[in-house]
Structure 1
Amino acid sequence: MKLLVLYYSVHGHTGELARHIARGIEEVDGAEAWLRTVPRLTPATAAAEAAVPDSGAPYATLDDLRQCDGLALGSPTRFGNMAAPLKGFLDSTSELWLSGVLAGKPACVFTSTGTLHGGQESTLLSMMLPLLHHGMLMLGLPYTEAALSRTRTGGTPYGVSHWAGLDNQQPISDDEKQLCRALGARLARIAQQLKNAR
């Protein structure tokens, strides 16, 4: 069972959240996490990077989405919205929407931002919209996760969030790490249940 963890990260915090979510996925027997990213865009909105990144996760393809059993989608907050590179990739998925290949697959979202009230929840909601159009089944974090009530740094019932600080020096807290792993494991368990039910 393959779970796609697709993210865009500039300062590394969203990428780190993605890696913790991937760890949670792989705590579930038979689940494999695929880490993928998208290239940066220039102000002219053309791809500014090589076809293959120098390091880190490979760039996502439509086949990654087509073949996955579930999706965790992450972006830094940009004025209360997902970042343009991730939105651009999602805008290229019309053929998947037309075929309905993502319908019925589980999905979750995660984000990081520089300010404490910088639009984490609206960013999470903005990422949910295209996934709902694809017919994906949205998963959040239930309050049965004790870290959700305890955290002072990030975490919402809509998905994992992280407050990075204006200087991007705020480390990901233990509570945030725990919530990432919980969300990844929840995604993998639900994907497994849905696959077994087919």
Structure 2
Amino acid sequence: MPRILVLYYSTYGHIEQMAAAVAAGARETGATVDVKRVPETAPEDVARAGHFKLDQAAPVATVADLEAYDAIIVGTPTRYGRMSSQMASFLDQTGGLWMRGALNGKVGAAFTSTASQHGGQETTLFSVITNLLHLGLVVVGLPYSFQGQLKLDEVTGGSPYGATTIAAGDGSRQPTENELAGARFQGRHVAAIASKLFD
């Protein structure tokens, strides 16, 4: 079975929850799944003053970790319609892997959160996907076979480019069951594709 890394950055815990759901979905297929987070780059006093969630259980990843996996699923909140600086900083350090083609042919995917429905979910996903393509990964999205992204009876995240959630401007909204279902679906889907490529 494939080895899958769910690699994320989460300021307030929304992406942390989505990462857990992505991992749970991937594990349903029998895949080996690790969940790791990228380092916090904000000074600790700034993070504490901003009420960042600093007590996350996932271990901190290193760039060298990436090569060990068959699939990498990247989660980050949006920052002005693009990935967070913490995730960008981490991915900016992968030049050695890129130069060696170390990630060529592996499976990649992305998930995100925004404050509002139209706060840049798809552009943030594409900001991650662009990096994945440059690194040589085969990108997998969230197909419309996950029917939850077509719901009109509730406010919900979800995009064919990856699972998403909406956090509200003050972070008070938590991922809904439909959004977590999308994340689990994406985890299963990535694992299934990776299994076809690497079994």
**TM-score scaled by length of structure 1:** 0.90
Q: Which residue of 2 aligns with 1:128?
A: 129
| 1:153 to 2:156 alignment | yes
- Cα distance change of structure 1 residues 153 and 57 upon mapping to structure 2, 3 Å threshold: same
Q: Which residue of 1 aligns with 2:107?
A: 106
Deviations 1:14-39 (A, max 9, x none): 1100000000010002x011111112
Structure 1 residue 137, shift from structure 2 partner = 0.5
Q: Which residue of 1 aligns with 2:66?
A: 65
Deviations 1:25-55 (A, max 9, x none): 10002x0111111122137xxxxxxxxx864
**For 1:176, which of 174, 179, 193 is the aligned residue?**
179
Structure 1 residue 63, shift from structure 2 partner = 2.7
SS state at 1:187 partner: helix
Unaligned runs of 5+ in 1: 44-52
Unaligned runs of 5+ in 2: 44-53
**TM-score scaled by length of structure 2:** 0.89
Paired residue type of 1:38: V
Q: Which residue of 2 aligns with 1:38?
A: 38
**Matched residues in 2 for 1:92 and 1:194: separation?**
27
For residues 2-151 of structure 1, what are the structure 2 equivalents within 5 Å?
A: 2-29=3-30, 31-42=31-42, 55-150=56-151
Q: Which residue of 2 aligns with 1:46?
A: none
**Matched residues in 1 for 2:64 and 2:188: separation?**
23
* Identical columns (%): 40
Give the count of matched residue pairs: 186
SS state at 2:86 partner: helix
